[in-house]
Structure 1
């Protein structure tokens, strides 16, 4: 039997120290790079977005991939791309961890809109508070002291 999956991940990762260095319009170039990496790994990108200090990726990943390996590859590749293209002069790296949350296919459109609205959303809510809210909403156990 062939393998059939439909697992949608909402992946979030931040710049080191939540440095606000992912500036527009260069951020669009980074998003295109990430889309290319996902496409090359047979993933389907539904939406990518973010603000100056973090990125949201809504994607289905190929059944042969582990999300931890995908995020590691994305972070390493993005770092190389940012440095090679000199996109963000103040970029020093990514935080060690990340968030990866699964969602029902029926929730996809709602989360696509959420990712689209990041610029507006973060006029009211800090990135840290947003991430803490996501952890709570997705039922993830965590220690507040370990969230930077």
Structure 2
């Protein structure tokens, strides 16, 4: 019998990092992403959003690619929320995403980090957060970053 745990911390942002996720209605988006994930057979351990980006911690099944999961989440949620009156400025998602594997032993720390996004972003911008995740040296040398992630 095989056993697989593949925890992935995924981050993606709104189109042009525009703050188009209204905090008073973000539960709609989070519930939607969770529902699509369940339909895909993906277990969401924690999800949260803050104004211009989303964090998701999932357990990705061995039978599914990460890019397949993110593509489906971004495509379906973009279609569902573009034109939603509670999301008047939402125009979809930016190209790309960040993903980081998470060990079983780090899982709770990442869950708490995602849970605390509102407090976290009172003192740190999304760009500063990404620089910590990706590493400032990598960002400085990465052409893809400049084209797709800079605000």
State the secondary structure of the residue aligned to 2:82: helix
State the secondary structure of the residue aligned to 1:35: helix
Deviations 1:91-134 (A, max 9, x none): 11211010011010110000000001101101111101101111
Q: What TM-score does the superposition give when structure 2 sets the normalisation length?
A: 0.89
1:84: how far off?
5.7
Deviations 1:41-81 (A, max 9, x none): 11111100120000000000111110011101000010111
Q: CA RMSD in A?
A: 1.8
Tell me whether 76-85 or 100-109 shows the greater mean CA deviation. Answer: 76-85
Name the counterpart of 2:11: 12
Q: What TM-score does the superposition give when structure 1 sets the normalisation length?
A: 0.91
1:145: how far off?
2.9
State the secondary structure of the residue aligned to 2:46: strand
Q: Structure 1 residues 64 and 141, CA, compared in 2 at 3 Å: closer, same or farther?
A: farther
1:141: how far off?
4.2
5+ residue gaps, structure 1, are none
Would you say the 8 A contact 1:34–1:78 is kept in 2? yes
1:3: how far off?
3.7
Would you say the 8 A contact 2:30–2:49 is kept in 1? no
5+ residue gaps, structure 2, are none
1:24: how far off?
2.2
Name the counterpart of 2:61: 62
Deviations 1:22-46 (A, max 9, x none): 0022210110010011111111111
Name the counterpart of 2:128: 129
State the secondary structure of the residue aligned to 1:128: helix
Q: Between Structure 1 and Structure 2, how many residues are aligned?
A: 145
